[in-house]
Structure 1
Amino acid sequence: MADVNRGQRPLSPFMIGPYYRPQLTSMTSIFVRISGIVALGTALLVVWWLLAAATSESAFAFIDGLLRSWFGDLVLFFATWALWYHTLGRLRHVIWDFGYCFKVETAEKLGIAMIAASAVLTILTVIVV
């Protein structure tokens, strides 16, 4: 077996810190995954709301009151942003899967566009709904 120097080299390119500088494309991809988890949490809130509506009036009053409060409005606002962000992020990954937009400048512009479009679509959704 070859003698490999395992001295001071990093073990993984994903070691953020002195070995790896986060880039816009990597951070937006990480946040796409996080926004997917937030979307799952939002779906569980909706299921809770529906089950409470089917179960009892007091259970429904509790969750409905929570979701209609200022805190519920804030949670649903950020959940809406997470859904739009995740949707646009997955769309960007589909574009990459087809082999387009791999140049660094283009990929960074897509990331910026994804962030801006998710904010605009969230505000439009809040205004319309």
Structure 2
Amino acid sequence: MSQTASGKPSPTPRRALSPHLQVWRWHITMFSSIMHRVTGFGSTVGLIMLVAWLVSLALGHQAYAAFLTFAASPLGLIVWFLLSLGGFVHLTGGVRHWIWDLGAGFTPKSADQLAFWTMAAGLVLTLAFWACLFASGKVSL
């Protein structure tokens, strides 16, 4: 039987808490690590889109036109935007891991800064990519 703060036996035993609950706190490197995994998994959606494009090509003109109609729709553009965001965030996360492989950026402050800047760079690269697409006329609403 476990004891209460007064030293008296407690009728129900208290369960031990995992040590990480007392030691760990949320920080940006955790978020960027999770996002690197999520965006890596999200690449499978991009692969599915690639396969759908290839299948539509193989099925003929009508199937390809239907795929292009979806791809150019507002929903399709949101999917493409999220895929490009995921790709750029994953790319910059890979650069962060490469920097760590070089043995740099392991102090808590530099790891947090590196995580922040890789996430920011992924967003900036995505916005620049889409700005170029809209400016060139290849994409329009």
Task: Decide: shared fold, TM above 0.5.
Answer: yes
Q: Which structure has the larger Rg?
A: 2
Q: Which runs of 5+ in 1 are unaligned?
A: 1-6
The separation in 1 between residues aligned to 2:117 and 2:31, in whole angstroms, is: 14
One-letter code aligned to 2:125: L
Matched, 1:115 2:123: no
**Deviation of 1:22 (Å):** 2.2
Deviations 1:29-69 (A, max 9, x none): 01101011112211220221122112222322222111110
Which residue is 1:39 aligned to? 43
Aligned pair count?
Answer: 119
TM-score of the aligned structures, taking structure 2 as reference length: 0.76
Question: Are 1:82 and 2:86 counterparts?
Answer: yes
Q: CA RMSD in A?
A: 1.8
* Consecutive unaligned residues in structure 2, runs of 5 or more: 1-14, 134-141
Bigger shift: 57-66 or 94-103? 57-66
Residue in structure 2 matched with residue 3 of structure 1 by the alignment: none
- Which residue in 2 is equivalent to 1:124? 128
Letter of the 2:95 counterpart: L
TM-score between both structures, scaled by the size of structure 1: 0.83
